[in-house]
Amino acid sequence: MGKTKGFLSYVRRNPALGWGFGILLALFLFTTVGQLFVVRENAYPLKVPVNKPPSAQYPFGTDSQGKDLLAGMVVGTGMTLSIGMIAGVIGLGVGTILGFTSGYYGGIFDTVVKFIVDVLMTIPSYLLLLLIATTVTDPGSMKTVEMALILSIVSWVGPTRTIRSQVLSMKERAFVMMAKLSGMSGIEIILKEMMPNLMPYLAISLAGAVSGGVMGSLGLEALGIGNRREPTLGMMIYWVRYYGAFLRGMWWWILEPVIAIALVFIAFLLISIGLDEVANPRVRRKV
Amino acid sequence: MRIPLSYVLKRIGFLLMVMWTAATINFILPHLSPKDPVAEQVQQKISSGGLSAESAQEMQEALRTLYGLDKPLWQQYVKYLWNTFRFDLGRSIYSYPREVMDIIGQTIWWTVGFGGTATVLAFVIGTVLGALVGWSKAPKFLSALIPPLAMFSAVPSFILALVLIYFMSFKLQQWTGGAFYFPLRGGYSSETIINIADLNFWKDVIWHSILPALSMLLVSTGGWALGMRAMMVTVEGADYITFAEAKGLKNRRVFFRYALRNCMLPQITSLAMQLGTIVTSATLVESMFSYPGIGNRLGTAISQFDYYTMYGIIFFLVMGIAVATFIVDMIYPFLDPRISYGS
């Protein structure tokens, strides 16, 4: 209870963080608690009358494939977020290991890691994803987990870069020197001395990797690469274009995924602004 | 200003490594996958009813020979690298025998046109706006623009494109009774004849490019403004600004010649870092508008199972970004004489 209170009073000084977590929590509740109120099957084609605008029976309307969009949004938002979560967590995990080991130990391993990261920073990750996704799987019937795994092929690059550069500067600090002199091993220093001090940066990296993963999945799915059977947010965009929802004025079908996607990204932006303030309290920003 | 040779050589080496990596990924991935581009293409042709079973077999053999797929792997790889470095990206398999380079040449100018204009405008507007917001003597009402711009910068541009299409094109048409609205799709009206000497053609092209460009512009302006504002706040506290003010220089002069110039460097660095993101968002925005640029062509190639065109376009885009990054790296020493390139 005390911790919650502490968080709430901190959030008052850091409203961006509070709003970010708030929006994310709302989306999370929408997609979890929401499943208790909708029929999950109705998120799939041929279950309800087609092209119905929002009404009492279908508050979010229905699409041209006969999906109930309320059910679709509830299921799809959750799927898209979990794709991003899986890719982000794997990316952060790999990034943490590589960033700490290469930054702390240096040497030839560091040179190799730095080189690969530099090359991959030049090659846009989206194009790489496009290449991998269309070549190694069957575009159109990819499993949701496959999508997340493919995204994690690129999601480690950003975290590795951020963490490595933080480790490089922290390595020279007095308390790390002290720990080294007192005979702590490298692993111990990384885990006990550096990791706790870099927590805010790890959190920023996670937020970046998750939103990068969501972004990647949306980009692929908007072109129809992904699981066309599942109602993920990106696939909804694909079907909106496929069925020409614009020409038929089906505003509900267009705006619902757009609003959900915008909320996801705004939440991550606010969280990273908020975490930035946790990491560098001296740089008080006034957004 | 002299740039050390070692710096130049290092950058050239890096550029070559990026090219080699991209080319190798492009070569290896298809060979690792269980898929067969030729067989898949022939399958597509059969299912669309254009081929009989025997002629399909024949076509498959012929295509294999044409693409050199019957040769040993290492020969294919050497040939592929050699061709790639001569900018010969092979031929499309969907619309054989069109060369991929030819397809790129036809579409790239559309992308450069709207994407380049949007990027330059966003960079200039965002930088100046951010500088003014960070500058304490500028009008205060400008800072009201920052929160909405920050919100826009969080949303992917192709998502914003959908909103613009809905409101500026479809809804505007309804509200004005069809009198005034932006085009829904395409790069020019279907009844316009492509003639680069004709002014009306250009008017039509610009008219069609407004919404795609706007969706990129609105998204990226905020990012530039935020970065610039943060820099400006730091620079404004610097001693040389205080000194310039103490000398009695006009505010305008201090702003442009002392503060703005020193804030520009990180902006240009991040422009180089952002090139990949810009190209990515341009490709997706094009797909949303069915704009005749290279990004939309890439989407079409994917939906046509035209793997060779797809690999070619992706390789070309990666190259474009790598070369642009290289150019920025070469210009950078001239912009910032303080940096030493010795080590």
Domains identified in chain A and CATH numbers:
2-283 (1.10.3720.10)
pLDDT digits (tens, 9 = 90+) for B94-110: 877 788 899 999 999 99
Q: Do A223 and B14 touch (CB under 8 A)?
A: no
Q: Where are the domains of chain B?
A: 110-288
- Does A237 reach chain B within 8 Å, measured CB to CB? yes
How far is Cα A159 from Cα A203, in angstroms, rounded to an integer?
10
Give the helix ranges, DSSP H, for B70-156.
73-85, 100-134, 146-154
How far is Cα A181 from Cα A2, in angstroms, rounded to an integer?
38
Confidence of residue B269 (pLDDT cuts 50, 70, 90): confident
Mean of the per-residue pLDDT values of chain B = 85
How far is Cα B18 from Cα B268, in angstroms, rounded to an integer?
21
How far is Cα A48 from Cα B314, in angstroms, rounded to an integer?
40
How far is Cα B18 from Cα A116, in angstroms, rounded to an integer?
10
Q: A134, B289 in Cβ contact below 8 A? A: no
How far is Cα B319 from Cα A224, in angstroms, rounded to an integer?
25
Chain A residues in contact with B151 by the CB 8 A cut-off are: 266, 269
Q: Do A131 and B26 touch (CB under 8 A)?
A: yes
Q: Which of A24, A114, A131 to mutate to test the interface with B (most CBs of B within 10 A)?
A: A131
Find, among B155, B173, B44, B141, the residue nearest to B96 by Cα: B44
Q: List the beta bridge partners of residue B99.
A: B91
- Per-residue pLDDT, averaged over A200-209, amounts to 93
Chain B residues in contact with A247 by the CB 8 A cut-off are: 170, 184
User: Nearest-CA distance from B146 to chain A in Å?
Assistant: 7
Please provide residue A142's backbone torsions phi and psi, each rounded to the nearest 5 degrees: -80, 140
More confident residue, A27 or B170: A27
How far is Cα A85 from Cα B33, in angstroms, rounded to an integer?
27
Find, among B84, B132, B91, B105, the residue nearest to B233 by Cα: B132
pLDDT of residue A104: 93
Confidence of residue A287 (pLDDT cuts 50, 70, 90): very low
Q: Do A124 and B169 touch (CB under 8 A)?
A: no
Chain A residues in contact with B24 by the CB 8 A cut-off are: none
Q: Do B158 and A287 touch (CB under 8 A)?
A: no
User: Nearest-CA distance from B125 to chain A in Å?
Assistant: 19
Find, among A237, A201, A243, the residue nearest to A219 by Cα: A237
pLDDT digits (tens, 9 = 90+) for B179-220: 788 888 888 887 777 777 788 888 888 899 999 999 999 999
pLDDT of residue B343: 42
Q: List the beta bridge partners of residue A227.
A: A140, A141
User: Nearest-CA distance from B342 to chain A in Å?
Assistant: 19
- Per-residue pLDDT, averaged over A142-152, amounts to 91
List the structure tokens of A21.
């977590």
H or E, element range at B158: helix B157-164
DSSP notation for B293-336: SHHHHHHHHHHTT-HHHHHHHHHHHHHHHHHHHHHHHHHHHHH-
How far is Cα B42 from Cα B94, in angstroms, rounded to an integer?
9
pLDDT of residue B53: 72
Question: Of the given ranges (A30-34, B159-163, B215-219, B266-270), which has the lowest mean pLDDT?
Answer: B266-270
Give the helix ranges, DSSP H, for chain A.
2-13, 15-32, 34-37, 69-105, 107-122, 125-136, 144-155, 157-170, 174-181, 186-188, 195-197, 199-222, 233-242, 251-279
How far is Cα B141 from Cα B131, in angstroms, rounded to an integer?
14
Share of chain B above pLDDT 70, in %: 97
How many residues can be counted in chain B?
A: 343
- Does A15 reach chain B within 8 Å, measured CB to CB? no
* Residue found under tokens 């048409």: B173
pLDDT of residue B296: 93
Q: How many CA atoms lie within 13 A of A233 on its CB side?
A: 29
pLDDT of residue A127: 92
List the structure tokens of A11.
């959030």
3-state secondary structure of A62: strand
How far is Cα A234 from Cα A242, in angstroms, rounded to an integer?
12
CA angle A81, A150, B160 (to 5 degrees): 50
- Does A139 reach chain B within 8 Å, measured CB to CB? yes
Please provide residue A178's backbone torsions phi and psi, each rounded to the nearest 5 degrees: -55, -50
Helix axes B5-32, B307-335, angle to 10 degrees: 160
Find, among B277, B145, B288, the residue nearest to B215 by Cα: B288
3-state secondary structure of A11: helix
- Searching chain A, which residue's CA lies closest to the CA of residue B315? A127
List the structure tokens of A155.
């999601």
Chain B residues in contact with A131 by the CB 8 A cut-off are: 25-26, 29, 310-311, 314
Of B17, B146, B317, the CB nearest to A119: B17
Confidence of residue A25 (pLDDT cuts 50, 70, 90): very high
CB atoms within 10 A of CB B118: 27
pLDDT of residue B200: 84
How far is Cα B332 from Cα B338, in angstroms, rounded to an integer?
11
Q: Looking at this predicted complex, what is its ipTM?
A: 0.87
Mean of the per-residue pLDDT values of chain A = 90
pLDDT digits (tens, 9 = 90+) for A85-101: 999 999 999 999 999 99
Of A121, A134, A262, the CB nearest to B159: A262
Chain B residues in contact with A285 by the CB 8 A cut-off are: 230
- Per-residue pLDDT, averaged over B21-43, amounts to 81
How far is Cα B162 from Cα A50, in angstroms, rounded to an integer?
22
Of B18, B299, B311, the CB nearest to A123: B18
Q: Do B276 and A225 touch (CB under 8 A)?
A: no
3-state secondary structure of A242: helix
Please provide residue B270's backbone torsions phi and psi, each rounded to the nearest 5 degrees: -75, -25
- Does A260 reach chain B within 8 Å, measured CB to CB? no
- Judge whether residue B137 has pLDDT over 70: yes
Distance of CA A78 to the CA centre of its chain: 12
Of A134, A222, A247, the CB nearest to B158: A222
Q: Do A287 and B147 touch (CB under 8 A)?
A: yes
Share of chain A above pLDDT 90, in %: 63
How far is Cα B75 from Cα B81, in angstroms, rounded to an integer?
10
Find, among A282, A88, A70, A42, the residue nearest to A202 by Cα: A88
Confidence of residue A189 (pLDDT cuts 50, 70, 90): very high
Q: A117, A157 in Cβ contact below 8 A? A: yes
Chain A residues in contact with B17 by the CB 8 A cut-off are: 115, 119
C-alpha separations of A154 from A119, A120, A271, B322 in Å: 12, 8, 22, 18
pLDDT of residue A74: 95
CB atoms within 10 A of CB B200: 10
User: Nearest-CA distance from A222 to chain B in Å?
Assistant: 8
DSSP notation for B215-252: HHHHHHHHHHHHHHHHHHHHHHTSHHHHHHHHTT--HH
pLDDT of residue B50: 66
Chain A residues in contact with B284 by the CB 8 A cut-off are: 219, 222-223
- For residue A285, give the DSSP letter: -
- Searching chain B, which residue's CA lies closest to the CA of residue A271? B154
Radius of gyration, alpha carbons of chain B: 25
Confidence of residue B340 (pLDDT cuts 50, 70, 90): low
- Which homologous superfamily is B110-288 in? MetI-like (1.10.3720.10)
pLDDT digits (tens, 9 = 90+) for B238-264: 899 889 989 999 988 998 888 888 888
The count of CB pairs under 8 A between chains A and B is 126
- Per-residue pLDDT, averaged over B15-37, amounts to 84
User: Nearest-CA distance from A4 to chain B in Å?
Assistant: 28
How far is Cα A126 from Cα B314, in angstroms, rounded to an integer?
10
pLDDT digits (tens, 9 = 90+) for A248-284: 889 999 999 999 999 999 999 999 989 988 887 765 5
Residues 92-131 of A with CB under 8 A from B: 115, 118-119, 121-128, 130-131
Q: Which of B162, B277, B325 to mutate to test the interface with A (most CBs of A within 10 A)?
A: B162
- For residue A141, give the DSSP letter: B
More confident residue, B86 or B336: B86
Find, among B57, B85, B159, B105, the residue nearest to B309 by Cα: B105
- Searching chain A, which residue's CA lies closest to the CA of residue B313? A127
Find, among A286, A146, A26, A261, the residue nearest to B147 by Cα: A286
Of B35, B166, B280, the CB nearest to A254: B166
List the structure tokens of A162.
């951020």
pLDDT of residue B335: 76
